[in-house]
Structure 1
Amino acid sequence: MIYEPWPWYVSGPLIVLVMAILLLMGKRFGMSSNLETMCTIGGAGKISDYFKTNVKSKSWSLLVVLGVVFGGYLGSNVLTNNKGVAISEMTISMLNDLGFSSAGKAYLPSELFSTSSLSDPFTVLLLLVAGFLVGFGARYAGGCTSGHAISGLSSLQLPSLIAVIGFFAGGLLMVHFFFPLLFGS
């Protein structure tokens, strides 16, 4: 069981348990807030008052980031028999037509995320613009997808529902319109 993806009826209740514990402790879950904490630790408070925050009250969430990084590495490199992603044959075919031959064989498309792809100026520009838009979007929405979808929705926050609807709409727009526009021939 440890080498296979966990079914929803195991992983879902575990997420609920973690969220219940966090809510009882008065904590909120989210990844983008850790960027603020890291900037504060790095001395950004000397430049902007926004980053003058109490780091000790947020330091617990940095352990979550370390756990995500370590758990992601462990899950994808040690606790799996399959290095690919389970996606439909139709999606693999469509991605192959767009030039992504690694579709279904790797977690991230090597055509975008390998070190050799960084020699292509288009790829570098695309990743920089995408990174800026993700960071701007997370800041503008007051949190990231994990914070809004898991923590915000579990505490019944209307802004989180609106943000999650926006995230899904943006994802659909990206996959069905911009992705073929950027990578189609």
Structure 2
Amino acid sequence: MKFYRGGKNMKNKWILKGIVLGSVFFISLFLIKPIGISTQFSVLSGMMQTSFQEDIVFRAGKDFYSTVEYYNQDGIAKSIAVPYNFGLIFALGIFLGGMLGKIFFRKNKDFIELTNLLEKDDISRIKLFIGGVLLLFGARMAGGCTSGHMMSGVMQLAISSIIFTVILFPVAILIAKKVGE
């Protein structure tokens, strides 16, 4: 089995893409907050919970608090009460960006090869989903998410992020080699 390696254009522009991505993360960190996505899953679950228990989030002065202790960390209680924020827009942007990429790059040979690789390979979409859930669970246990740890967290020199990233890459390489056999 051959792994997807990208086309010629991708190989020639990786430095530029890395600089752009790093700049976006730096600007986000400097102007708004570190980039991360998994907290939005906690916000979404809190929003669903408030439809059954309206009193779990309350305002005390300028701040928001929750009767559920987990929601009192990382500004989750405030995001539940006022969900229209940077995190929600970021989460929607990821979804919409993926859809637009699928629509506009449908004729891109490299994109189609990658899609066909996933469909022809013995790795089922269910296994990929379960792996993603496990990865997200481990990242949340370490106090963040995969994008938050690997990009924003390492950029801030957070110890948990460095440990997460140093362990993640060798494991990912081993799994990729095992799957490729």
Q: TM-score, normalised by structure 1?
A: 0.64
Query: Which residue matches 1:20?
Result: 26
The answer on 1:65 being equivalent to 2:65 is no
Q: Which of 32, 36, 40 pairs up with 2:38?
A: 32
Q: Please report how far the alpha carbon of residue 164 of structure 1 lies from its aligned counterpart in structure 2 after TM superposition.
A: 0.5
Q: Which runs of 4+ in 1 moved over 4 A?
A: 44-48
Query: Which residue matches 2:78?
Result: 54
Give me the whole-angstrom Cα distance separating, in 2, the residues matched to 1:60 and 1:16: 18
- The count of aligned residue pairs is 151
CA contact (8 A) 2:40 2:87 kept: yes
Higher relative strand content? 2
Aligned residue type for 2:40: N
CA contact (8 A) 1:33 1:143 kept: yes
Q: Which moved more, 1:139-148 or 1:128-137?
A: 128-137
Aligned residue type for 1:110: E
Q: Which of 83, 106, 119 pairs up with 2:115?
A: 106
Aligned residue type for 1:64: F
Give me the whole-angstrom Cα distance separating, in 1, the residues matched to 2:153 and 2:129: 28
Change in CA separation of 1:28 and 1:71 when aligned onto 2, cut-off 3 Å: same
Q: Which moved more, 1:32-41 or 1:128-137?
A: 128-137
Change in CA separation of 1:13 and 1:130 when aligned onto 2, cut-off 3 Å: closer
Q: TM-score, normalised by structure 2?
A: 0.65
Q: Please report how far the alpha carbon of residue 140 of structure 1 lies from its aligned counterpart in structure 2 after TM superposition.
A: 1.8
Query: Which residue matches 1:148?
Result: 149
The answer on 1:43 being equivalent to 2:49 is yes
Identity of aligned residues (%): 28
Change in CA separation of 1:61 and 1:83 when aligned onto 2, cut-off 3 Å: farther
Q: Please report how far the alpha carbon of residue 167 of structure 1 lies from its aligned counterpart in structure 2 after TM superposition.
A: 1.1
What is the correspondence of 1:119-134 to structure 2 with a 5 Å cutoff? 124=126, 126=127, 129-134=130-135
Give me the whole-angstrom Cα distance separating, in 2, the residues matched to 1:35 and 1:138: 13
Residue segments in structure 1 that go unaligned for 5+ positions in a row: 86-101, 118-122
Aligned residue type for 2:70: Y
